[in-house]
Amino acid sequence: MRSVYLDHAATTPVDARVRGAMEPYFTSEYANPSAIYAGGRRIREAIDNARLSTARVFNCMIDEVFFTGSGTESDNMAVIGVARAYNRVPAHLVGKVNTNFKHVITSSIEHHAVLRATEFLENKEGFRATYLKPDKFGMTSPESVRDALTPETIVVSIMYANNEIGTVNAIHEIAKVIREKKQEWGRKVTEPPFFHTDACQAAGAFSLDVKKLGVDLLTVNGSKIYGPKGTGALFVRRGVRVEPLVHGGGQENKLRSGTENVAGIIGFAKALEIAHDERDAESARLIPLRDKLIRELQARIPKVVLNGHAIERLPNNVNVSVLDIEGEAMLLYLDEHGIAASTGSACDSASLEPSHVILGIGKPYEYAHASMRFTLGRSTTDEDIDYLLEVMPKVVTILRRISPVHLEVEDEAKIGTQADAKMAGAFVGARPHWEK
């Protein structure tokens, strides 16, 4: 049976070049990086080189890069760590704002690593949070961020590209809005509010140049870019304070204690370097495959609606609602044919709750329960797409035959508008903003 892996947004296989870079640090180079003898110094130098490589991709200073154990940890450090660090107002701002900075802004369709961290601040530490509603394509507008900002806002966290529907946000425009507000309030760049973006899905597809993006903090993880699982990094602009979540030996410039995962750090940095160097060529290869899949799914299967923006989306992401079926049932049938896909975030795969992202862009429960996410990668071929297109219509026919629910696409009150679906399909293949 053919095996087709279309769940690269969940995780990716480790690149052979990455495995090769990691291998010595499992065997011959095993010393503790904090040791002062020769073996320890060699390990420390290797970590420093990995930090330099990562800083080059971010276009930042080497001391602005912090290695972590995951994208989730990096997101928590950015949201909770910064909020805690600025809970008290600096002396020179006393009287100009309330006693405490107590406000956090994010969107309602962020990854749960950001949403749960924000909810923790709300429910456990007395912070106030604003959850911005995106438009019907999943984009958070700079104007909505501007309207939500207050003098008490500490951190704004808006993801670069959505992990479920693939929509890409105008991060540099949101950053511009926040800078303008700071200037209006007479704030320095090292004073709140700060801007964080979760770039885990964007890494390997778009530029991570933090100067061009205008962000203060940026999250990346290794498992999405053909690196090892359990690795990540957080960019923190100089002058931005972060309260550590873990206390101990003071590693990572006292921000993240614990003996370093040396092999993981080396592998992460190598994977990021490769993803950065090859992103343009790989995106150019994937976009035609992505667009073919969207176009043919809508042509071959009735009542298939694209979720997310048709143009401003990740090169490898196809998220559709196949009405009159349950997404989980579709996954099981596809798995029987050797096809691996998902219904949304891998972190929530054990839950039968409908996608908060699909619901968050205004789609009803029927859309959410019927959503499917296919994410392409380096191993994806045209033959893989053809195989999926051969199998999926047959599976849909079987599942719709036994489905107790049959919705009418024209019923706008229930499932949105057919015009939206047609518009999305019409623009497939157009040039996205980062190529203009």
Which of 316-320, 407-411, 431-435 is predicted most confidently? 316-320
Residue 115 reports pLDDT greater than 70: yes
Name the burial class of residue 211, with classes exposed (0-12), middle (13-18) and buried (19+) by CB atoms within 10 angstroms of its CB: exposed
Listed in order, the ranges of the chain carrying CATH 3.40.640.10 are 16-275
DSSP secondary structure code for residue 87 in this structure: S
| Catalytic entry in 148, 347, 359, 389 | 347
Q: What is the pLDDT of residue 96?
A: 58
pLDDT given for residue 99 in this prediction: 52
What is the separation of C-alpha 369 from the centre of its chain, rounded to a whole number of angstroms? 22
Confidence grade of residue 307 (pLDDT, cut at 50, 70, 90): very high
Domain covering 16-275: architecture: 3-Layer(aba) Sandwich (3.40)
Dihedral through CA 205, CA 231, CA 345, CA 392, nearest 10?
A: 60
Residue 381 has a CB neighbour count (10 Å cut-off) of 12
Averaged pLDDT for residues 6-21: 98
Instruction: Choose between 428 and 380: higher pLDDT.
Output: 380
Residues carrying CATH 3.90.1150.10, the chain: 4-9+280-435
Counts of helices then strands in the chain (DSSP H, E): 15, 12
What is the enclosing helix (H) or strand (E) of 280?
A: helix 262-300
Q: Distance of CA 102 to CAs 88, 192, 239, Å?
A: 9, 11, 20
Neighbours of 404 (CB within 10 A): 5
What does CATH list as the number for 4-9+280-435?
A: 3.90.1150.10
- pLDDT of 62-98, one tens digit each? 999 999 999 999 999 999 999 999 986 555 555 555 5
| pLDDT averaged over every residue in the chain | 91
Q: What pLDDT sits at residue 101? A: 84
Count of beta carbons in the 10 Å neighbourhood of residue 285: 16
225, 204 contact by CB (below 8 A):
yes
E strands within 190-256?
194-198, 217-221, 232-236
pLDDT digits (tens, 9 = 90+) for 346-361: 555 555 678 999 999 9
Q: Residue 233 above 60 pLDDT?
A: yes
pLDDT of 309: 97
What pLDDT sits at residue 353?
76
Over residues 183-225, the pLDDT tens digits come to: 999 999 999 999 999 999 999 999 999 999 999 999 999 999 9
What residues contact 325, with CB distance under 8 A and at least 6 apart?
370, 396, 399, 400, 403
The answer to whether residue 324 scores a pLDDT higher than 50 is yes
Mean pLDDT within 297-304: 97
Q: Name the percent of the chain lying above pLDDT 90.
A: 85
60 assigned to active site:
no
